[in-house]
């Protein structure tokens, strides 16, 4: 305890004492549960050790955070997060007879629901869920469930038999001595929801036999007419006597009042309609937004008045434009050299970009999503019959209806876009062809809509291919949907799917990053291994092997329908950092910052001297001493970023793909950035013939 100062005792229980303490290093308040293990019997010790085991497995914003444990004075000390708002039980008691508004009931309930989903995803039963074990932050707006002392870690989808838990929250099957599984936690959660709505317990009696009889009969007083019929039905379904007829957590999340509460918790983009109607794409737009000619326009003035903090004086004492915090360039599809795209405001800082066949999108440092649209074409040639390249001009706007949502990542497919919030919520919009939006249908959506099937998961990365999508969660789970031919979804079939489907990744690999291509997918595992699925045409997945090197007889794969480890030379021996896939070739960057390419070399897009028929991967011939940190592949070209900020391109030069005045194909050369201050590349994206590049200026000392 030399690292902590004890402040006071905040609780005593059957297994020990709970202290409020202050950590000396940062003055942070923590809770330390002191459990005298030497005085315990075997079962009590196991319960204490189990709590440490369970807490260390869980990591969720609605679960009390576990910091560390240590032994001192023959006692086990468990250090965990301090919730200043007390317990939900205390909060309910303080209400007296003043019922909570339904909105607050659901806000507290859905946070508990999300926490329990995380617990169950780890194959853990809480087994003692009650309002006394649900804690609140200081403002009593955030729920934190705790007390995992008697939780059960299931080795499989088995059932637990031990009679544990608080009597008022025990399920009927437990009263009968029957085995139970996660549905008993659903019963307890239903009791908690009832308590929130009625300010009293669902099942209470003067003695234990009478309580058991009440539970076995499932009799409890109805909640107030103050609440909706939907809330009443939800409670009844969760407190069904038959555990098989109780809803699963995913089914509860699918209830529209729960989805609405989840939306209110994470975003303000609008409510899901009560009836099963097709929602008009623009019905959720805020006031002042109108539909004109197929485009969204804001009624607010496009001009932006800078604040006093944005005013900068030039050398003569006059006003000058503040320096840009970032720049975004595009080229290709007829744009022969990099064009700087406009930003909505001068202080906008773009940290990540993505391009599809037609879309260009970026994420700002403060979590806004920018969309660039080609608004018109300029042509200064006035002589009759004269010809000059027409260069489109671009306009920038923020994604409509995004207020209150913090975006941290965006990925563009063909005519559709997926964006990820900082809370792991995935939203999609655009064309619903091939089911790429993941909403269970093929409807187009103009305004970003949450992928409801993934609401119970914390998504950390998403990648859009031409017509399919793959997402990874914080627990390394992988989900895929969209077009399925060639096996690009990794689902061991060629069926298309319009909603996320779990993908099996072979053991012992765990997914870290993923990249979707035109008809295939690549996944980098946590150990740096490469796994692939889909079409291997031209060996763009690197799967081909040589059975007999001396005879040079290749073993070729046309396509694979599940994620398959790449073991061919040299890819099987490399520790891979990131990947990129073009139409007919692919590239990887290793942990040693070397770039290897493979697939078709018809236009020199591989960047090394190999014939078009040689299907073996090779290292890119970059200038001596150059280290590659990022790579992106287009249809017939490649763009790579050097560790010192260099931007290289090679491959087919037609229609400005290489972004340089020297349009000599095949040669690895620097992209032209004229009259630009030294910069660092933050993100690069290629799709078909397009390239989108995000940069930030270097400090003056770095640019010398």
Residues identified as active-site? 128
Say how far apart CA 579 and CA 153 lie, in whole Å. Answer: 37
Q: How far is CA 523 from the centre of its chain?
A: 16
Element holding 234 (H helix, E strand): helix 229-238
Q: From 350, 330, 332, select the one nearest 340 (Cα to Cα).
A: 330
CA 470 to CA 451: how far, in whole Å? Answer: 13
65 Cβ contact list (under 8 Å, min separation 6)? 59, 80, 81
**Beta strand ranges found along 528-607 (DSSP E):** 530-535, 545-548, 553-555, 559-565, 576-581, 585-590, 595-599
Alpha-carbon gap, residue 278 to 443, rounded angstroms: 9
Helix (H, G, I), strand (E, B) or coil at 523: strand
d(CA 226, CA 291): 39
CA distances from 366 to 180, 220, 265, 483 (A): 46, 48, 19, 33
Nearest to 537 by CA among 585, 489, 579, 580: 585
Angstrom distance (rounded) from CA 630 to CA 588: 9
Half-sphere exposure of residue 348: CA atoms within 13 angstroms, side-chain side: 23
Q: How far apart are CA 82 and CA 85, in angstroms?
A: 9
Q: SS3 for 132? A: helix
Bridge partners, 641 (sequence order): 630, 647
The answer to whether the CB of 523 falls within 8 A of the CB of 478 is yes
- Helices 182-198, 229-238: inter-axial angle, 10-degree rounding: 140
Q: In Å, what is the CA distance from 421 to each residue of 50, 368, 408, 427, 473?
A: 33, 10, 5, 8, 13
Residue 157: alpha-carbon gap to chain centroid: 26
CB neighbour burial string for 289-320, b if at least 16 within 10 angstroms, e if fewer = beeeeeebeeeeeeeeeeeeeeeeeeeeeeee
What letter does residue 627 receive in the DSSP assignment? -
CA 295 – CA 297 distance, rounded (Å): 6
Cα of first residue to Cα of last residue in the chain, in angstroms, is 51
Q: How far apart are CA 625 and CA 74, in angstroms?
A: 58
* Upper half-sphere CA count for residue 296 (Cβ side, 13 Å): 21
Separation CA 187–CA 196 (nearest Å): 14
In whole angstroms, give the CA distance from residue 139 to residue 143. 10
3-state secondary structure of 145: strand
The residue whose two tokens read 């360039």 is 329
Task: Give the gyration radius of the chain's Cα atoms.
Answer: 29
| Residue 236 contacts residue 255 (beta carbons within 8 Å) | no
Q: What is the DSSP letter of 221?
A: P
The helix/strand/coil state of 26 is coil
Q: Locate the DSSP E strands across 187-334.
A: 289-292, 295-298, 312-313, 319-320, 327-332
Given CA atoms 88, 90, 92, 94 in this order, what sign does their dihedral have? negative
Distance CA 154, CA 179 (A): 13
């Amino acid at each position: 305890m030399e690292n902590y100062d004890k402040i006071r005792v905040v609780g005593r229980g059957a297994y020990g004492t709970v202290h409020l303490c202050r950590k000396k290093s940062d003055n942070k308040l923590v809770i330390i549960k002191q459990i005298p293990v030497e005085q315990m019997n075997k079962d009590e010790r196991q319960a204490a050790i189990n709590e440490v085991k369970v807490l260390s497995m869980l990591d969720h914003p609605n679960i009390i955070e576990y910091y560390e444990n240590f032994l001192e004075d023959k006692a086990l000390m468990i250090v965990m997060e301090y919730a200043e708002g007390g317990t939900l039980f205390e909060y309910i008691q303080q209400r007296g007879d003043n019922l909570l508004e339904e909105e607050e009931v659901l806000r507290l309930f859905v946070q508990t629901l999300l926490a329990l989903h995380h617990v169950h995803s780890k194959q853990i039963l809480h087994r003692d869920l009650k309002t006394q074990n649900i804690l609140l932050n200081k403002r009593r707006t955030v729920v934190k469930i705790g007390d995992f002392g008697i939780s059960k870690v299931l080795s499989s989808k088995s059932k637990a038999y031990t009679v544990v838990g608080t009597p008022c929250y025990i399920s009927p099957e437990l009263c009968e001595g029957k085995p139970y599984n996660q549905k008993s936690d659903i019963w307890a959660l239903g009791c908690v929801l009832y308590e929130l709505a009625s300010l009293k317990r669902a099942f209470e009696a003067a003695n234990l036999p009478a309580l058991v009889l009440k539970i076995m009969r499932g009799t409890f007083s109805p909640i107030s007419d103050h609440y909706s019929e939907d809330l009443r039905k939800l409670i009844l379904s969760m407190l069904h006597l038959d555990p098989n007829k109780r809803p699963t957590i995913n089914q509860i999340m699918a209830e529209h009042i729960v989805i609405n509460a989840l939306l209110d918790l994470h975003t303000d983009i609008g409510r899901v309609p009560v009836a099963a109607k097709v929602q008009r794409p623009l019905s959720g737009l805020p006031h002042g937004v109108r539909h004109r000619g197929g485009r969204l326009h804001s009624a607010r003035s496009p001009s932006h008045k800078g604040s006093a903090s944005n005013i900068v004086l030039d050398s003569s004492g006059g006003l000058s434009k503040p320096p840009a915090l970032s720049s975004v360039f595009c080229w290709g599809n007829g744009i022969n050299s990099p064009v700087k795209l406009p930003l909505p405001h001068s202080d906008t800082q773009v940290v990540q970009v993505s391009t599809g066949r037609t879309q260009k999108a970026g994420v700002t440092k403060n979590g806004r999503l920018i969309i660039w649209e080609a608004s018109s074409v300029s042509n200064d040639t006035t002589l009759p019959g004269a010809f000059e390249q027409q260069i489109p001009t671009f306009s920038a706007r923020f994604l409509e209806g995004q207020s209150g949502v913090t975006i941290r990542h965006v990925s563009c497919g063909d005519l559709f876009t997926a964006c990820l919030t900082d809370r792991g919520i995935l939203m999609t919009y655009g064309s619903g062809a091939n089911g790429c939006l993941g909403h269970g249908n093929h409807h187009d959506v103009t305004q970003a809509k949450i992928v409801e099937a993934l609401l119970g998961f914390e998504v950390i990365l998403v990648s859009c291919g031409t017509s399919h999508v793959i997402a990874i969660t914080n627990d390394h789970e992988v989900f895929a949907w969209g077009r399925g031919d060639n096996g690009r979804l990794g689902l061991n079939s060629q069926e298309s799917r319009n909603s996320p489907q779990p993908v099996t990744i072979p053991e012992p690999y765990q997914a870290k990053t993923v990249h979707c291509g035109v008809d295939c997918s690549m996944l980098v595992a946590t150990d740096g291994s490469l796994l692939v699925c889909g079409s291997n045409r031209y060996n763009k997945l690197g799967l081909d092997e040589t059975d007999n090197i001396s005879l040079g007889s290749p073993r070729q794969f046309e396509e694979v329908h599940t994620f398959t480890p790449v073991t061919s030379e040299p890819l099987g021996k490399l520790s891979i950092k990131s990947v990129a896939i073009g139409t007919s070739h692919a590239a990887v960057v290793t942990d040693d910052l070397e770039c290897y390419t493979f697939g078709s070399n018809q236009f020199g897009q591989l960047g090394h001297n190999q014939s078009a028929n040689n299907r073996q991967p090779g290292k890119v011939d970059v200038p001596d001493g150059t280290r590659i940190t990022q790579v992106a592949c287009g249809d017939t070209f490649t763009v790579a970023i050097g560790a010192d900020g260099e931007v290289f391109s090679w491959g087919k030069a037609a229609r400005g793909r290489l972004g340089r005045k020297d349009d000599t194909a095949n040669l690895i050369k620097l992209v032209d950035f004229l009259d630009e201050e030294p910069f660092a590349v933050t993100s690069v994206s290629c799709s078909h013939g397009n390239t989108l590049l995000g940069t930030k200026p270097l400090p003056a000392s770095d640019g010398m």
